[in-house]
């Protein structure tokens, strides 16, 4: 009996491989997982957008849960997510910090003037120095950073209400719960 069914072994192996490869067909290869999740935000020291003399560093993220949004005025995905960023800025108490990435200062200032400014502060990374240190490979990208300056999540591509509700809100809630627990 067992001997007769032996021919099923290669068939089962083949079926297993088909299942794995079939799944792979529907994965998006452009979504590369970030090696920074649960690691400290990489250090940087950059001038800010509105004031060239002022500097912004990763220490800015300390003490609150915040977003770090990589954007540029040449980036169409950033235009699509801009309303969502404004909504987050107006309806939640999660501060948004910006990394103005590979952009021209004048174009970036014009962008914020025309569309509204959801950012607390923007760091200017014209030459993609900090971008490389943060593993950025395209705009927009949004990092969720907790009160200890640890990166908890990274979203690649425009933010949408769906992604905000599914990926960001639960993580913000649990990070806040931990923060409250540690504080009491």
Partner 1 sequence: MIRALTFSLLLWLSLPAHAIDPSDKLEDPVQDELYQRITEEVRCLVCQNQSIANSTAPLAADLRREIRRMIEEGSNETEIKDFLVERYGDFVLYRPRFRSWNLVLWLGPIVLLTVGFIALVVNVRRRKNLPVDEDAP
**Where on the chain is the footprint of partner 1 (CB under 8 A)?**
29-30, 32-35, 102, 127-128, 131-135, 137-138
What DSSP string describes 127-184?
TSSHHHHTT--SS-EEEEE-TTSBEEEEEES---HHHIIIIIHHHHHHHHHHHHHHH-
Least gap, CB of 48 to partner 1 (angstroms): 22
Cis peptide leading into residue 140 (ω within 30°): yes
Q: Which helix (H) or strand (E) holds 107?
A: helix 105-115
Radius of gyration from C-alpha coordinates of the chain: 21
The torsion angles phi and psi of 144, rounded to 5 degrees, stand at -105, 120
Quick check: 57 and 81 in contact, CB under 8 A? Answer: no
Least gap, CB of 31 to partner 1 (angstroms): 10
Q: Give, as one character, the DSSP assignment of residue 37.
A: T
Closer residue to partner 1, CB minimum distance, 118 or 131: 131
Least gap, CB of 169 to partner 1 (angstroms): 26
Closer residue to partner 1, CB minimum distance, 115 or 157: 157
Closer residue to partner 1, CB minimum distance, 33 or 91: 33
Cis peptide leading into residue 151 (ω within 30°): no
Closer residue to partner 1, CB minimum distance, 102 or 115: 102
Quick check: 115 and 82 in contact, CB under 8 A? Answer: yes
Closer residue to partner 1, CB minimum distance, 52 or 127: 127
Least gap, CB of 137 to partner 1 (angstroms): 4
Residue linked to tokens 């025309």: 114
Least gap, CB of 102 to partner 1 (angstroms): 6
Closer residue to partner 1, CB minimum distance, 31 or 177: 31
């Amino acid at each position: 009996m067992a001997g007769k069914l032996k021919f099923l072994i290669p068939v089962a192996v083949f079926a297993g491989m088909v299942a794995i490869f079939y799944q792979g067909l529907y994965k998006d290869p452009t979504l590369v997982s970030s090696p920074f999740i649960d690691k400290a935000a990489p250090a940087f020291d950059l001038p800010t957008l509105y004031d060239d003399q002022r500097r912004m560093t990763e220490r800015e993220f300390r003490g609150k849960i915040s977003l770090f949004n990589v954007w540029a005025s040449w980036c169409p995905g950033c235009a699509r997510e801009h309303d969502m960023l404004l909504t987050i800025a107006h309806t939640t108490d999660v501060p948004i910090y910006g990394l103005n990435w590979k952009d021209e200062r004048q174009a970036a200032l014009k962008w914020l003037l025309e569309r509204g400014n959801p950012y607390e502060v923007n760091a200017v990374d014209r030459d993609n120095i900090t971008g490389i240190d943060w593993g950025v490979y395209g705009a927009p990208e949004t990092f969720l950073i907790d009160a200890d300056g640890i990166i908890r999540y990274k979203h690649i591509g425009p933010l949408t209400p769906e992604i905000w509700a599914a990926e960001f809100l639960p993580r913000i809630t649990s990070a806040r719960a931990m923060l409250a627990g540690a504080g009491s």
